[in-house]
Protein backbone atom coordinates (compact mmCIF):
# COMPACT_ATOMS: atom_id res chain seq x y z
CA UNK A 1 0.00 0.00 0.00
CA UNK A 2 1.05 3.54 -0.60
CA UNK A 3 1.32 5.71 2.45
CA UNK A 4 -1.02 8.47 3.41
CA UNK A 5 0.47 11.74 4.47
CA UNK A 6 0.01 13.58 7.72
CA UNK A 7 1.80 16.74 6.77
CA UNK A 8 1.10 19.84 4.76
CA UNK A 9 4.31 21.77 5.33
CA UNK A 10 6.31 19.54 3.01
CA UNK A 11 9.98 20.28 3.19
CA UNK A 12 9.57 23.30 5.44
CA UNK A 13 11.36 21.94 8.44
CA UNK A 14 8.63 19.98 10.18
CA UNK A 15 8.78 16.32 11.01
CA UNK A 16 6.24 14.23 9.19
CA UNK A 17 4.65 10.91 9.67
CA UNK A 18 3.73 8.28 7.16
CA UNK A 19 0.77 6.11 7.97
CA UNK A 20 0.28 2.82 6.19
CA UNK A 21 -3.31 2.42 5.06
CA UNK A 22 -4.34 -1.02 6.18
CA UNK A 23 -1.48 -1.51 8.61
CA UNK A 24 -3.24 -0.33 11.73
CA UNK A 25 -6.20 -2.17 13.15
CA UNK A 26 -9.46 -0.46 14.01
CA UNK A 27 -9.32 -1.78 17.54
CA UNK A 28 -9.16 0.31 20.66
CA UNK A 29 -12.89 0.68 21.18
CA UNK A 30 -13.56 -3.04 21.77
CA UNK A 31 -14.91 -2.54 25.25
CA UNK A 32 -17.41 0.05 24.10
CA UNK A 33 -19.50 0.60 21.03
CA UNK A 34 -17.49 1.67 18.02
CA UNK A 35 -18.34 4.88 16.17
CA UNK A 36 -19.78 2.72 13.39
CA UNK A 37 -22.01 0.90 15.86
CA UNK A 38 -23.13 4.16 17.43
CA UNK A 39 -24.15 5.25 13.94
CA UNK A 40 -26.26 2.10 13.64
CA UNK A 41 -23.88 0.14 11.43
CA UNK A 42 -22.14 -3.13 12.16
CA UNK A 43 -18.68 -3.10 13.70
CA UNK A 44 -17.09 -4.04 10.36
CA UNK A 45 -18.92 -1.45 8.27
CA UNK A 46 -16.76 0.82 6.13
CA UNK A 47 -17.78 4.41 6.74
CA UNK A 48 -16.14 7.30 4.98
CA UNK A 49 -16.18 11.09 5.14
CA UNK A 50 -15.03 12.61 1.84
CA UNK A 51 -13.76 15.89 3.21
CA UNK A 52 -12.70 18.87 1.10
CA UNK A 53 -10.16 21.08 2.87
CA UNK A 54 -9.24 24.73 2.38
CA UNK A 55 -12.65 26.17 1.49
CA UNK A 56 -12.43 29.95 1.30
CA UNK A 57 -8.77 29.94 0.22
CA UNK A 58 -9.44 31.04 -3.36
CA UNK A 59 -12.43 31.31 -5.65
CA UNK A 60 -11.14 28.31 -7.61
CA UNK A 61 -11.23 26.21 -4.43
CA UNK A 62 -14.73 27.40 -3.57
CA UNK A 63 -16.13 26.88 -7.06
CA UNK A 64 -14.72 23.36 -7.38
CA UNK A 65 -15.77 22.35 -3.86
CA UNK A 66 -19.30 23.68 -4.28
CA UNK A 67 -19.62 21.82 -7.58
CA UNK A 68 -18.30 18.65 -5.95
CA UNK A 69 -20.78 18.96 -3.06
CA UNK A 70 -23.58 19.08 -5.65
CA UNK A 71 -22.60 15.60 -6.89
CA UNK A 72 -23.15 14.14 -3.41
CA UNK A 73 -19.83 12.34 -3.71
CA UNK A 74 -17.96 14.88 -1.62
CA UNK A 75 -20.00 15.22 1.54
CA UNK A 76 -18.08 17.41 3.95
CA UNK A 77 -15.59 20.23 4.06
CA UNK A 78 -13.97 22.85 6.23
CA UNK A 79 -13.59 26.58 5.73
CA UNK A 80 -10.63 28.90 6.29
CA UNK A 81 -12.11 31.96 8.00
CA UNK A 82 -9.06 34.26 7.64
CA UNK A 83 -8.95 33.80 3.87
CA UNK A 84 -10.14 36.47 1.41
CA UNK A 85 -12.79 34.27 -0.16
CA UNK A 86 -14.34 33.24 3.17
CA UNK A 87 -17.39 35.49 2.57
CA UNK A 88 -18.23 33.51 -0.57
CA UNK A 89 -18.30 30.28 1.45
CA UNK A 90 -20.24 31.94 4.26
CA UNK A 91 -22.83 32.90 1.67
CA UNK A 92 -22.95 29.27 0.48
CA UNK A 93 -23.26 27.99 4.04
CA UNK A 94 -26.20 30.29 4.74
CA UNK A 95 -27.93 29.14 1.56
CA UNK A 96 -27.20 25.45 2.34
CA UNK A 97 -27.82 25.01 6.08
CA UNK A 98 -27.69 21.21 5.82
CA UNK A 99 -24.25 21.22 4.20
CA UNK A 100 -21.65 19.55 6.44
CA UNK A 101 -19.24 22.44 6.89
CA UNK A 102 -16.66 22.82 9.60
CA UNK A 103 -13.86 25.31 10.16
CA UNK A 104 -10.36 24.67 8.91
CA UNK A 105 -8.66 26.61 11.70
CA UNK A 106 -5.85 28.52 10.08
CA UNK A 107 -2.70 29.92 11.66
CA UNK A 108 -0.37 29.93 8.66
CA UNK A 109 -0.54 31.67 5.28
CA UNK A 110 1.30 28.98 3.30
CA UNK A 111 1.55 30.85 -0.01
CA UNK A 112 3.99 33.50 -1.24
CA UNK A 113 2.17 35.75 -3.72
CA UNK A 114 -1.27 35.67 -2.14
CA UNK A 115 -1.56 36.04 1.60
CA UNK A 116 -3.76 36.49 4.62
CA UNK A 117 -3.42 37.26 8.30
CA UNK A 118 -5.25 36.79 11.59
CA UNK A 119 -8.91 37.51 12.30
CA UNK A 120 -8.02 38.70 15.80
CA UNK A 121 -6.50 42.13 16.15
CA UNK A 122 -2.84 41.81 15.17
CA UNK A 123 -1.49 43.17 18.43
CA UNK A 124 -3.48 40.52 20.31
CA UNK A 125 -1.69 37.65 18.54
CA UNK A 126 1.91 38.86 18.11
CA UNK A 127 3.48 35.40 18.03
CA UNK A 128 1.37 34.40 15.02
CA UNK A 129 2.39 37.15 12.60
CA UNK A 130 5.46 38.02 10.61
CA UNK A 131 7.01 41.48 10.36
CA UNK A 132 4.47 42.49 7.70
CA UNK A 133 1.42 41.42 9.67
CA UNK A 134 0.66 38.23 7.75
CA UNK A 135 0.55 34.75 9.19
CA UNK A 136 3.86 32.98 8.71
CA UNK A 137 4.04 30.81 5.59
CA UNK A 138 4.69 27.94 7.94
CA UNK A 139 6.20 27.50 11.37
CA UNK A 140 9.78 26.51 11.96
CA UNK A 141 11.70 25.67 15.10
CA UNK A 142 12.41 29.40 15.45
CA UNK A 143 8.78 30.35 15.90
CA UNK A 144 7.72 30.69 19.51
CA UNK A 145 3.99 30.32 19.18
CA UNK A 146 2.11 31.47 22.27
CA UNK A 147 -0.77 29.10 23.08
CA UNK A 148 -2.78 32.07 24.38
CA UNK A 149 -2.42 33.82 21.02
CA UNK A 150 -3.58 30.58 19.40
CA UNK A 151 -6.69 30.38 21.59
CA UNK A 152 -7.52 34.03 20.95
CA UNK A 153 -7.19 33.58 17.20
CA UNK A 154 -9.19 30.33 17.12
CA UNK A 155 -12.03 32.00 19.03
CA UNK A 156 -11.93 34.99 16.69
CA UNK A 157 -12.24 32.66 13.69
CA UNK A 158 -15.19 30.75 15.17
CA UNK A 159 -16.88 33.97 16.27
CA UNK A 160 -16.56 35.55 12.83
CA UNK A 161 -17.89 32.38 11.20
CA UNK A 162 -20.92 32.31 13.51
CA UNK A 163 -21.52 36.04 13.01
CA UNK A 164 -21.50 35.54 9.25
CA UNK A 165 -23.93 32.62 9.34
CA UNK A 166 -21.62 29.60 9.38
CA UNK A 167 -22.53 27.14 12.14
CA UNK A 168 -19.66 24.67 11.99
CA UNK A 169 -20.24 20.93 12.38
CA UNK A 170 -16.59 20.33 13.32
CA UNK A 171 -13.11 21.82 13.58
CA UNK A 172 -9.79 20.86 12.07
CA UNK A 173 -6.40 22.45 11.57
CA UNK A 174 -4.78 23.81 8.40
CA UNK A 175 -1.46 22.15 7.69
CA UNK A 176 -2.07 20.03 10.84
CA UNK A 177 -0.29 22.74 12.83
CA UNK A 178 -2.39 22.18 15.96
CA UNK A 179 -1.66 18.44 16.03
CA UNK A 180 2.02 18.43 15.21
CA UNK A 181 3.31 21.38 17.24
CA UNK A 182 3.38 19.87 20.70
CA UNK A 183 0.90 19.27 23.49
CA UNK A 184 0.37 22.93 24.42
CA UNK A 185 -1.04 23.94 21.06
CA UNK A 186 -3.12 20.77 20.80
CA UNK A 187 -4.58 21.60 24.19
CA UNK A 188 -5.40 25.09 22.92
CA UNK A 189 -7.48 23.43 20.20
CA UNK A 190 -9.06 21.09 22.75
CA UNK A 191 -9.88 23.96 25.08
CA UNK A 192 -11.54 25.98 22.33
CA UNK A 193 -13.39 22.99 20.86
CA UNK A 194 -14.76 22.04 24.30
CA UNK A 195 -15.75 25.64 24.96
CA UNK A 196 -17.79 25.79 21.75
CA UNK A 197 -18.93 22.14 22.16
CA UNK A 198 -17.65 21.24 18.71
CA UNK A 199 -16.11 17.94 17.62
CA UNK A 200 -12.67 18.17 16.07
CA UNK A 201 -10.77 16.02 13.63
CA UNK A 202 -8.60 13.51 15.47
CA UNK A 203 -7.47 10.13 14.23
CA UNK A 204 -6.67 7.10 16.36
CA UNK A 205 -3.88 6.15 13.95
CA UNK A 206 -1.96 9.31 14.91
CA UNK A 207 -1.64 8.34 18.58
CA UNK A 208 1.39 6.08 18.22
CA UNK A 209 3.50 8.89 16.72
CA UNK A 210 2.05 11.75 18.75
CA UNK A 211 1.32 10.22 22.17
CA UNK A 212 0.34 13.61 23.64
CA UNK A 213 -2.74 13.55 21.42
CA UNK A 214 -4.06 10.44 23.13
CA UNK A 215 -2.93 11.65 26.55
CA UNK A 216 -4.82 14.92 26.13
CA UNK A 217 -8.22 13.66 25.03
CA UNK A 218 -10.90 12.03 27.11
CA UNK A 219 -13.80 9.68 26.52
CA UNK A 220 -16.02 12.56 25.52
CA UNK A 221 -13.87 13.39 22.52
CA UNK A 222 -14.83 11.89 19.19
CA UNK A 223 -11.91 10.04 17.61
CA UNK A 224 -12.17 8.67 14.09
CA UNK A 225 -10.32 5.51 13.15
CA UNK A 226 -8.36 6.30 10.01
CA UNK A 227 -7.50 8.98 7.52
CA UNK A 228 -6.31 8.89 3.94
CA UNK A 229 -4.70 11.75 2.09
CA UNK A 230 -2.52 11.62 -0.98
CA UNK A 231 1.09 12.73 -0.85
CA UNK A 232 3.65 14.26 -3.21
CA UNK A 233 5.29 10.88 -3.86
CA UNK A 234 2.31 9.79 -5.96
CA UNK A 235 2.87 10.67 -9.63
CA UNK A 236 0.03 12.47 -11.41
CA UNK A 237 -0.80 9.50 -13.60
CA UNK A 238 -1.26 7.27 -10.53
CA UNK A 239 -3.67 9.64 -8.79
CA UNK A 240 -6.87 7.69 -9.47
CA UNK A 241 -5.07 4.40 -8.78
CA UNK A 242 -3.94 5.63 -5.37
CA UNK A 243 -7.44 6.58 -4.31
CA UNK A 244 -9.03 3.49 -5.85
CA UNK A 245 -6.60 1.24 -4.04
CA UNK A 246 -7.16 3.05 -0.75
CA UNK A 247 -10.91 2.64 -1.14
CA UNK A 248 -10.63 -1.02 -2.15
CA UNK A 249 -8.48 -1.80 0.88
CA UNK A 250 -10.42 0.25 3.35
CA UNK A 251 -10.46 -1.03 6.92
CA UNK A 252 -13.62 -1.25 8.96
CA UNK A 253 -14.53 1.84 10.94
CA UNK A 254 -14.65 5.53 10.09
CA UNK A 255 -12.09 6.81 7.61
CA UNK A 256 -11.80 10.49 6.74
CA UNK A 257 -10.46 11.19 3.25
CA UNK A 258 -8.79 14.60 3.30
CA UNK A 259 -8.89 16.00 -0.21
CA UNK A 260 -8.09 19.37 -1.78
CA UNK A 261 -10.33 20.55 -4.59
CA UNK A 262 -9.87 23.43 -7.00
CA UNK A 263 -10.03 24.17 -10.67
CA UNK A 264 -6.67 24.42 -12.39
CA UNK A 265 -7.24 27.97 -13.61
CA UNK A 266 -5.31 31.26 -13.77
CA UNK A 267 -6.09 32.28 -10.20
CA UNK A 268 -5.18 28.92 -8.69
CA UNK A 269 -2.03 28.53 -10.75
CA UNK A 270 -0.87 32.00 -9.72
CA UNK A 271 -1.74 31.46 -6.05
CA UNK A 272 0.24 28.23 -5.82
CA UNK A 273 3.01 28.81 -8.32
CA UNK A 274 5.96 28.63 -5.93
CA UNK A 275 5.60 24.84 -5.62
CA UNK A 276 3.57 22.05 -7.21
CA UNK A 277 2.53 20.34 -3.96
CA UNK A 278 -1.12 21.05 -3.18
CA UNK A 279 -1.03 23.24 -6.27
CA UNK A 280 -3.58 23.89 -8.99
CA UNK A 281 -3.02 20.71 -11.00
CA UNK A 282 -2.96 18.59 -7.82
CA UNK A 283 -6.33 19.97 -6.77
CA UNK A 284 -7.84 19.56 -10.23
CA UNK A 285 -6.81 15.87 -10.10
CA UNK A 286 -8.53 15.50 -6.72
CA UNK A 287 -11.62 17.17 -8.17
CA UNK A 288 -11.57 14.92 -11.22
CA UNK A 289 -11.36 11.71 -9.20
CA UNK A 290 -13.85 12.53 -6.46
CA UNK A 291 -16.54 13.70 -8.86
CA UNK A 292 -16.06 10.77 -11.24
CA UNK A 293 -18.29 7.82 -12.06
CA UNK A 294 -15.47 5.35 -11.29
CA UNK A 295 -15.38 6.74 -7.74
CA UNK A 296 -19.15 6.35 -7.45
CA UNK A 297 -18.84 2.78 -8.69
CA UNK A 298 -16.16 1.89 -6.14
CA UNK A 299 -18.30 3.25 -3.29
CA UNK A 300 -21.17 1.03 -4.44
CA UNK A 301 -19.11 -2.08 -5.14
CA UNK A 302 -17.16 -1.84 -1.89
CA UNK A 303 -20.33 -1.13 0.10
CA UNK A 304 -18.78 2.04 1.49
CA UNK A 305 -21.18 4.36 3.29
CA UNK A 306 -20.64 8.10 3.28
CA UNK A 307 -21.18 9.75 6.64
CA UNK A 308 -20.93 13.39 7.64
CA UNK A 309 -19.40 15.10 10.64
CA UNK A 310 -22.89 16.14 11.66
CA UNK A 311 -23.92 12.46 11.76
CA UNK A 312 -20.77 11.45 13.62
CA UNK A 313 -21.29 14.12 16.26
CA UNK A 314 -24.95 13.25 16.72
CA UNK A 315 -24.23 9.52 17.06
CA UNK A 316 -21.35 10.13 19.44
CA UNK A 317 -23.27 12.29 21.90
Return residues touching its own copies (CB under 8 A). Answer: 58-60, 62-63, 84-88, 91, 112-116, 119-124, 131-133, 156, 160, 163-164, 263, 265-267, 270-271
- Smallest distance, Å, CB 218 to its own copies? 33
Q: To the nearest whole angstrom, how small is the minimum distance from the Cβ of residue 153 to its own copies?
A: 12
The CA distances from residue 156 to 119, 120, 180, 215, 254, in Å, are 6, 5, 22, 27, 30
From 101, 67, 5, 6, select the one nearest 262 (Cα to Cα): 67
Q: Which is nearer to its own copies, 137 or 240 (CB)?
A: 137
Task: In angstroms, give the least distance from the CB of 63 to its own copies.
Answer: 7
Q: Which is nearer to its own copies, 26 or 63 (CB)?
A: 63
- Distance of closest approach, residue 125 Cβ to its own copies, in angstroms: 9
For residues 239 and 237, what is the distance between their CA atoms, to the nearest angstrom?
6
What is the number of alpha carbons within 13 Å of residue 72 lying toward its C-beta? 5
Q: How far apart are CA 86 and CA 57, in angstroms?
A: 7
Cβ closer to its own copies: 47 or 63?
Answer: 63
| Least Cβ distance, residue 70 to its own copies (angstroms) | 17
CB of 129 to its own copies, least distance (A): 10
Residue 235: strand, helix, or coil: coil
| Shortest separation between residue 242's beta carbon and its own copies, angstroms | 28
| Smaller CB separation from its own copies, 123 or 293 | 123
Listed in sequence order, the residues at least 6 apart from 290 whose beta carbon sits closer than 8 Å to its beta carbon are 50, 68, 73, 74, 243, 257, 259, 261
Whose Cβ is closer to its own copies: residue 60's or residue 188's? 60
**3-5/18-20 β-pairing:** antiparallel
What is the nearest approach in angstroms of its own copies to the Cβ of residue 226?
Answer: 35
Nearer of residues 17 and 137 to its own copies, judged by Cβ: 137
Distance between CA 165 and CA 81 in Å, rounded? 12
Question: Which residue's CB is nearer to its own copies, number 91 or number 221?
Answer: 91
Q: Residue 113 CB, nearest distance to its own copies (Å)?
A: 4
Q: Residue 266: what are its φ and ψ, rounded to 5°?
A: -55, -50
**What's the chain's length in residues?**
317
**Can you tell me the distance from the alpha carbon of 82 to that of 104, in angstroms, rounded to the nearest whole number?**
10
Torsion of CA 116, 119, 120, 126, to 10 degrees: -20
What distances in angstroms separate CA 185 from CA 18, 52, 265, one per listed residue? Answer: 21, 24, 35
CB under 8 Å to 219, separation ≥6 — which residues? none
Amino acid sequence: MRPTYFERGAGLGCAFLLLSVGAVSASGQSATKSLAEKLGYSRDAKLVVIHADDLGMTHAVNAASIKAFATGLVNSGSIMVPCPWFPEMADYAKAHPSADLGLHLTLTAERVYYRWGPVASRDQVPSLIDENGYFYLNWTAENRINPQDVERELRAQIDRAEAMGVHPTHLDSHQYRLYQSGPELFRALLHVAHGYQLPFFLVRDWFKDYPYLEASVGGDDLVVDHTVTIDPAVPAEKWAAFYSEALEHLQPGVTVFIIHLAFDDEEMRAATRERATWGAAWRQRDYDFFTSEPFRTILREQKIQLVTWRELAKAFR
